[in-house]
């Protein structure tokens, strides 16, 4: 029942892994902001940005292929949102594609915008993925809490992280128990059983939530989950942040 | 005579589906003693335990340390009474083992150094110090069980309430658990089917069946009464079988 999920690379060692989590979050956020605010029609600027992102990945020793897989899994969603951009009417420049009676206007700026939004999304997903996989989840949460993210939100994410595996296990065990007793029967019968299992899973999750709450109360929970945050920001963390900021500014100015 | 720490008189409890789970329970627990709560499945053992720190209130016929259970008294009661739930997945709710064991001490308002010390001591006690930075979901069920105990040990409660503490443990860690329980000076209330554990740790036994107290007596007295045990779907502890 060893779940790797997103902890797979969080315990290896590299420059990126060693960064103080708070600084790392801020640095990556800075990167994402710079990329997100790049002007839409200038595609050349994405070359230096991509190089920066890839260098960060290489520095972290997380396999690039692993990060790309994550991006590919999110690509359909990105495309779903952006696919119409090239066809939006624009004043300057464009062609008409026609099949018989159907004409579709395609604008050059639309295409540029499409490429730029896809690039922005992909680079941001790569950065977030890198942040997630190169930081151990518990310290990521603590760092976010230190950065004044509302503690209710942190608690929700923290419980999700703790219990998503438990629920997954419960579902898996129910499935296995069902398989063990499945001898024939119609598709419809099995489908109904699956649906019941989902219902049971929901009920169990609900009841577990109540019990967890009771266990928390038993240990003096009063609405605030407290934890100890130990890591300190070192000079090299600040150097990294400044260095990254300088590079990003240079790209912004000359890219 | 030792001080009465828990006094229960005529406690009734109904679950929302109107199951009458506890019927007219009367029970006194004295300071420093170890009491085993035994009985068949569904006897009401766990339900009774949940009343001991005010999680369930029943019709409120419980006094802890001469205090009625009230909202105002709850923080103090929960500091004094440590409850370990049966399912470690409910007991362990923080991302890492350290955070979980530190949860109680932190909510008690201890300083950082005190918390660190309490966590270290509690984890050493249950032989889980190596796993301090692991995530709970990566532990085996026996390891989770031991960390669960540590989450409460770190609060140094006066009364330790344990629900099936030895289930899922391998024989070595079950022996260790018994040794820990024997060593702790706190008052202990242990609900379990592990009658051998009760025999070793507890001086007194409360036998529950169908929500009623069947008998409260010295452990040896109950365990030597084969007829009583079998009538209540239990049996003689293995250790006594060999002897007799």
Of B55, B112, B138, the CB nearest to A218: B55
Q: In this complex, do B106 and A226 lie within 8 Å of one another by their Cβ atoms?
A: yes
Q: What is the pLDDT of residue B242?
A: 67
Is A101 inside any structural domain?
A: yes
Cα–Cα distance, A10 to A122 (Å, whole number): 21
Q: What is the pLDDT of residue B243?
A: 56
Look up the domain containing B56 and give its range.
4-243
Whether residue A175 sits in one domain with residue A67: no
Whether residue A245 sits in one domain with residue A124: yes
Whether residue A195 sits in one domain with residue A247: no
Chain B CB contacts of A3 under 8 Å are: 137-138
The tally of domains found in chain A comes to: 2
Of B91, B96, B155, the CB nearest to A215: B91
Q: Residue A106 in contact with residue A38, Cβ under 8 Å?
A: no
The runs of H, that is alpha helices, within A135-186 are 137-146, 151-180
B106 touches chain A (CB under 8 A): yes
**DSSP three-state, residue B117:** helix
Q: In this complex, do B135 and A215 lie within 8 Å of one another by their Cβ atoms?
A: no
- DSSP H or E stretch at residue B74: helix B74-80
Whether residue A97 sits in one domain with residue A37: yes
Q: What is the pLDDT of residue A2?
A: 44
Q: In this complex, do B136 and A162 lie within 8 Å of one another by their Cβ atoms?
A: yes
Whether residue A129 sits in one domain with residue A30: yes
Is A194 inside any structural domain?
A: yes
Q: What is the pLDDT of residue A93?
A: 67
Instruction: Looking at the complex, report in whole angstroms how far the Cα of residue A1 sits from the nearest Cα belonging to chain B.
Output: 8
First-to-last C-alpha distance (Å) of chain A:
48
Whether residue A187 sits in one domain with residue A72: no
Interface test mutation site (partner B, options A205, A219, A225, A228, max chain B beta carbons within 10 A): A219
Is A226 inside any structural domain?
A: no
Instruction: Looking at the complex, report in whole angstroms how far the Cα of residue B23 sits from the nearest Cα belonging to chain A.
Output: 23
Of A138, A215, A222, the CB nearest to B107: A222
Q: What is the CATH classification number for the domain harbouring B118?
A: 3.40.50.300
Chain B CB contacts of A137 under 8 Å are: 95, 135
Whether residue A242 sits in one domain with residue A130: yes
B47 touches chain A (CB under 8 A): no
Q: What is the pLDDT of residue A7?
A: 65
pLDDT band per the 50, 70, 90 thresholds, residue A188: confident
Whether residue A212 sits in one domain with residue A87: no
Of A165, A166, A220, the CB nearest to B104: A220
ipTM greater than 0.90: no
**DSSP three-state, residue B34:** strand
**DSSP three-state, residue A157:** helix
Highest mean pLDDT (candidates A25-39, A158-172, A214-228): A25-39
Q: Which tens digits make up the pLDDT trace of A107-149?
A: 888 888 899 999 999 999 999 999 999 998 888 999 999 999 9
What parts of chain B have a pLDDT lower than 70?
Answer: 1, 242-244
Instruction: Looking at the complex, report in whole angstroms how far the Cα of residue B189 sits from the nearest Cα belonging to chain A.
Output: 15
Nearest CA among B118, B121, B126, B83 for reference residue B102: B118
Write down the mean pLDDT value for chain B: 91
SS3 content of chain A, % helix, strand, coil (to 5): 70, 5, 25
Q: Which tens digits make up the pLDDT trace of B156-203?
A: 999 999 999 999 899 999 999 999 999 888 999 999 999 999 999 999
Chain A CB contacts of B115 under 8 Å are: 228
Question: How far is CA A69 from each of CA A122, A223, A231, rounded to the nearest angstrom?
Answer: 11, 39, 31
Look up the domain containing A42 and give its range.
15-141+231-254
**DSSP three-state, residue B106:** helix
The tally of domains found in chain B comes to: 1
B110 touches chain A (CB under 8 A): no
Strand bridging mode B67-68 / B62-64:
antiparallel
Instruction: Looking at the complex, report in whole angstroms how far the Cα of residue A94 sits from the nearest Cα belonging to chain B.
Output: 54
- Asked whether residue A5 carries a pLDDT value surpassing 90, the answer given is no
Is A9 inside any structural domain?
A: no
């Amino acid at each position: 029942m060893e779940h790797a999920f997103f902890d797979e690379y969080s315990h290896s060692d590299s420059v990126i892994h060693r960064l103080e989590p708070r600084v790392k979050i801020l640095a990556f956020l800075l990167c994402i902001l710079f990329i997100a605010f790049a002007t839409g029609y200038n595609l050349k600027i994405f070359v230096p940005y991509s190089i920066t992102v890839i260098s960060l990945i290489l520095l972290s020793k997380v396999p690039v292929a692993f990060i790309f897989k994550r991006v590919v899994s999110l690509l359909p969603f990105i495309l779903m949102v952006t696919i119409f951009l090239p066809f939006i009417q624009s004043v300057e420049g464009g062609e008409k594609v026609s099949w018989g009676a159907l004409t579709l206007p395609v604008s050059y700026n639309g295409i540029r915008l499409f490429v730029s939004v896809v690039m922005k999304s992909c680079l941001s997903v790569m950065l977030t993925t890198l942040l997630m996989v190169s930081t151990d989840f518990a310290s990521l949460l603590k760092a976010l809490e230190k950065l004044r993210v509302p503690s209710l939100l942190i608690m929700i994410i923290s419980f999700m992280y703790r219990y998503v595996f438990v629920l997954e296990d419960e579902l898996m065990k129910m499935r296995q128990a069902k398989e063990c007793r499945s001898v024939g029967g119609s598709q419809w019968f099995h489908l109904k059983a699956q649906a019941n299992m989902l219902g049971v899973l929901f009920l169990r999750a609900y009841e577990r939530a109540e019990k967890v709450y009771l266990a928390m109360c038993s240990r003096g929970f009063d609405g605030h989950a407290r934890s100890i945050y130990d890591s300190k920001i070192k000079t090299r963390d600040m150097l990294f942040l400044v260095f990254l900021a300088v590079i990003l500014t240079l790209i912004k100015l000359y890219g | 005579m030792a001080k009465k720490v828990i006094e229960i008189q005529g406690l009734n409890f109904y679950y929302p589906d109107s199951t009458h789970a506890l019927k007219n329970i009367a029970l006194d627990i004295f300071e420093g003693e170890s009491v085993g709560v035994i009985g068949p499945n569904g006897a009401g053992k766990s339900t009774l335990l949940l009343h001991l720190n005010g999680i369930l209130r029943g019709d409120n016929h419980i006094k802890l340390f001469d205090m009625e259970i009230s909202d105002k008294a709850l923080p103090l009661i929960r500091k004094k009474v440590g409850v370990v739930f049966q399912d470690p997945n409910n007991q362990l709710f923080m991302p890492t083992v350290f955070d979980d064991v530190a949860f109680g001490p932190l909510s008690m308002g201890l300083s950082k150094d005190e918390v660190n010390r309490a966590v270290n001591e509690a984890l050493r006690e249950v032989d889980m110090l190596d796993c301090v930075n692991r995530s709970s979901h990566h532990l085996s069920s026996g390891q989770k069980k031991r960390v669960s105990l540590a989450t409460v040990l770190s609060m140094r409660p006066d009364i330790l309430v344990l629900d099936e503490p030895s289930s899922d443990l391998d024989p070595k860690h079950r022996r260790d658990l018994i040794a820990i329980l024997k060593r702790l000076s706190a008052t202990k209330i242990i609900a379990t089917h592990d009658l051998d554990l009760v025999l070793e740790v507890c001086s007194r036994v409360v036998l529950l069946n169908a929500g009623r107290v069947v008998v409260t007596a010295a452990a040896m007295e109950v365990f030597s009464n084969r007829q009583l045990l079998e009538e209540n779907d239990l049996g003689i502890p293995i250790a006594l079988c060999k002897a007799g």
